[in-house]
Structure 1
Amino acid sequence: MEGLRGLAVLLVFFVHYGAQLAHASGLAPPALGMALQTLGHAGVDLFFVLSGYLIYRMLLGRARPYLPFLARRVQRLYPAFLVVLALQLGIALASVSGGGLPPGAGDRAWLLLANLLLLPGLFTITPIVIVAWSLSYEMAFYLAMPPLVAALQLRRWPAAARVAAMLAAVGLMLATDWAHGRMGMFAAGMLLVETMPLLAALARRGPWLDLAAGAAVLLCGGLLLAGPGGQANFLGLFLAGFLLPAAAFAGAGPVARGLAWRPLRWLGNMSYSYYLVHGLVLEVVFHALKLAGPGLAGLGGAAWWVLLAPAFLATLVGSAALFLAVERPFSILPAGAARRPAPAAGLAAAE
């Protein structure tokens, strides 16, 4: 789980690294950089899969009081988010251009309220924190799933009926070309919960699950790079988002061993803080380099390679600071508490 989360934020890093470098210098990334920037968008979809897996497994296991469940979700999401929101807002207000904020005080107050309520993403509202749109999807999932499980009495359904209902819902979403179709990735994680016994049996029979996961990842990458968009991209993401965690959770082969690599797990352990703050750190780094003189543009095509390691290191430092100072003490239950937190998944879905 930690390795998958580390992979997800690593993918997202390449999206914002390439975009911030191009914005600061006007230089186009090399072919590899462009490819990684395109593929990096899949990191958020992987987070949705992991959230779907953990939250659905939690709710299917036993009934949970709704308000305490939501309170725990708020505790996980908001402390680190509020700090990054305050930093981003302060930088915007201090800038001469206003940092993209609307000019009127009333409009600014409304934008701030909408961001505090995690409405960007669900509605056409500019996020102050660039990645906040995905938190809107997460919160909508947290709000909707407990009453849905309770109202439909899903715990009483046969597993096959629940799987059929999930696939039908995803099919309907595709058929109607729903504007928030990426929410369908939560269903891939929910399907993992339902099919885990079958997947574990398959993993015991040989390397088939690892081979299927590898083929699905290659197919998904090919679709994303070819750029057909729409339903084809979603189906590739859905298949890879299902099979890659399946090989990680149910098997003990190369996929599981690779995702258990300690540096990747270390990154995954603070993935929520990293996800929130890495874009802001990159913005500050490239703005400082731009102010320092023309050296950035002078690097030419080598800029992407030369700055990659220093920029990534800067994001690690900023993320570790946010994790240690805010997320760990305020969002994660302290060691020795009556309830131990479950392993975190998704953006911030730990129990």
Structure 2
Amino acid sequence: MANATQVHTDSVEAREPRPPSRPVRLPGVDGLRALAVTAVLIYHVNPRLLPGGYLGVDVFFVVSGYLITRLLLAERGNLRHFWVRRARRILPPLVPVLLVTVLAVAWASRAQLRSLRTEVLGALTFTSNWVQIAEHHSYFARFAAPSVLQHLWSLAVEEQFYLLWPLVVVLVLRRGRNRLALLAALGAVASMVVMSARFTTGGDPSRVYFGTDTHCAGLLIGAVLAVLWSGAAGTSRLRTVGRNVAAVVGIGVVGVGLWRLSEYGPGAYRGGIAVVSAATALLILGAGAGRSGVGWLLSRAPVRWLGARSYGLYLWHWPILVIGSQLAKRTVPVALVEVGVALTLTVWSYRYLEQPVLRAGYQGLLRRGWLVPLDRRRTTRRAALLAGGAAAVACVVAATVALVRAPVAPPSGLDAQLAAASVATGAPPAPTPAPSSAAPSPTPSTSAAPPIPPVPRGTDISALGDSVMLAAAPALQRRLPGISIDAKVSRAMQPAPGILSGMAGRGTLRPVVLLGLGTNGPFPRSLLEGVVRRLGPHRRLFLVNVYLPTRPWGGQVNRTLEQVAAEFDNVYLVDWRDAAAKHENLLWPDRIHPRPGGGANLYARTVAAALAGPDDDEELVPANHAR
């Protein structure tokens, strides 16, 4: 049997030259990884518990940029050694995650396999973020289960950085460290500027969030710190005080970001992510060596244990949460089981794949039999290796066949309902009816319109909405004959002013406007106030609030609607939120869209009741007067 020395010599990877020096070990940085993965895990289990938990990814970015740049500087441009080490670090846990995920999806939900093809390709080529951008993955408009590989966007950003940044280091480092630090700083600022410029308030931030160009500032901030600070910790009193101050300020800013910075508001993309990234760099500076109070906490053995396994836990947790949510409603016990499964797989991967490959390389892993339990007998080891290899090959073949032969996913019930409703409402809006005592005609001007009867009829109403209104459109047309409905999937509130102004200019805007927007994201109160002022005091505006139990912006949207309804005498609320909450059985599994029949009829009845007011024979009372 070959001994360890022979195996080490036989390994191709083991023959790579050793770096001339190794960076100073920073135990507090391992703890930062634990903080980051914990924040992401809590956010993915329940975003209400930690609204800014997604910023854990940005903490990862800063830590990665810092550590990778330190390694590059220590290895003095040995790119081959660097990239071999990255391959050993990244691939061993990633490949099993992909195989298990594909096989689990094939078992639990074959309809998702076809869409998984490009995502697996993106994962293997480290382009997942651009694949998701190209396929228009969205945090806002996605109401079905998200992709089981959506979380790999961040790994793709890091890997693209690992490919390009070493080349930059080799080329620029010859001219001095200061130039390298300046270049990294300029790159970070440029990325922040692009993120801010491309972000549209209230719009879908997916392109901004997923893009390497818009979301690489954290990696470059970490690189700047690595160039300027070696990691060595002095012992003078002044340095000790400085470390403590930096650590406290850093953990304070990061903590506030994790607790308060929602990913749906402009604050995150117009400085918030950059500030948290800078605070993370400050935290590394103050707590990395473990000699400050915060550093001591981050350096404790359990925290470092989790930090060392954070990469595997990040990879495993998301597919388990997504598949688990399709099998059972998430409760506290279910969430604990999901996290327990993710931790178990992470520990197995770390012990039997990640560490052996890092120490001995891929060939060394096979030759030394790291996958085998403690029995050292050659025959047992060989049999176990053959069995493990055969199982791995079988999994690869099964996963490949499953992806190649993936069936075309049939349209879901909700998709079919929305498609039918789009056809039913796809005709151009009906012209405004001729003036009469029962149904007066609006004028092209938004500032004046004839008075309308206390209880408007369908021919008095222009409705503008998103997919929730679209799902109920046929029921609305039956309940309110003649109503003009313009509803569209993924529509947000932002286009509403332009659409309503266009309708007014064409003479098709009616005396009563029914606005059902807000499902796809929040919007500033000033925008809706502007809509009301454009409509003028002679038109009535009915605002349909939202029921979004699975989306964090529902409360913000409803508060905005309530505030605007209380501010204007001609604005009224339609309480779809309470109606839907009492009849969730009439909604699709997304708990947002009404089903055909009972759900759509519930929506139409709720609207009709609000139009009629407290009493069919009495004039409507504005929301602010009804209080």
Q: TM-score range by the shorter chain?
A: 0.7 to 0.9
**Do the aligned partners of 1:220 and 1:240 also contact (CA within 8 Å) in 2?**
no
Matched, 1:164 2:190: no
Shift of 1:250: 4.5
Q: 2:352 maps to what in 1?
A: 325
**Do the aligned partners of 1:11 and 1:40 also contact (CA within 8 Å) in 2?**
yes
Shift of 1:89: 1.0
Q: Bigger shift: 310-319 or 82-91?
A: 310-319
In structure 2, the gaps of 5 or more residues are 1-28, 136-146, 199-210, 365-627
Matched, 1:196 2:229: yes
Shift of 1:246: 1.6
**Do the aligned partners of 1:163 and 1:191 also contact (CA within 8 Å) in 2?**
yes
**Do the aligned partners of 2:148 and 2:318 also contact (CA within 8 Å) in 1?**
no
**Do the aligned partners of 1:277 and 1:319 also contact (CA within 8 Å) in 2?**
yes
Letter in 2 for 1:333: R
Matches within 5 A, 1:59-208: 59-99=72-112, 101-102=114-115, 111-123=119-131, 124=133, 129-152=149-172, 154-159=173-178, 161-177=179-195, 179-180=211-212, 181-196=214-229, 200=233, 203-206=239-242, 207-208=244-245
How many residues align structurally? 301
**Do the aligned partners of 1:203 and 1:251 also contact (CA within 8 Å) in 2?**
no
What is the CA–CA distance in structure 2 between the aligned matches of 1:176 and 1:110, rounded to whole Å? 27
Q: 2:67 maps to what in 1?
A: 54
Letter in 2 for 1:137: V
Q: What's the TM-score once normalised by structure 1's chain length?
A: 0.75
Residue in structure 2 matching 1:234, options 246, 266, 273: 273
Letter in 2 for 1:325: Y
Identity of aligned residues (%): 25
Matched, 1:224 2:261: yes
SS in 2 for 1:274: helix
Letter in 2 for 1:203: R
CA distance 1:100–1:15, shift in 2 (3 Å):
farther
CA distance 1:109–1:122, shift in 2 (3 Å):
closer
Q: 2:246 maps to what in 1?
A: 209
CA distance 1:110–1:281, shift in 2 (3 Å):
closer
Letter in 2 for 1:204: T
What is the CA–CA distance in structure 2 between the aligned matches of 1:239 and 1:199, rounded to whole Å? 20
Q: What's the TM-score once normalised by structure 2's chain length?
A: 0.44
Q: 2:33 maps to what in 1?
A: 5
In structure 1, the gaps of 5 or more residues are 19-32, 103-107, 291-295, 297-302, 339-351
Q: Which has the larger radius of gyration?
A: 2
Specify which structure has the higher proportion of helix: 1
Residue by residue over 1:228-262, the C-alpha shift from the partner in whole angstroms, topping out at 9 and shown as x without a partner, is: 23122222222222112222124612110110122
Higher relative contact order (CA 8 A, sep 6+): 1
Shift of 1:75: 1.9
RMSD: 3.0
CA distance 1:316–1:110, shift in 2 (3 Å):
closer
Residue by residue over 1:114-167, the C-alpha shift from the partner in whole angstroms, topping out at 9 and shown as x without a partner, is: 331121113435675232111111111111012111222x254253x4333322
CA distance 1:110–1:284, shift in 2 (3 Å):
closer
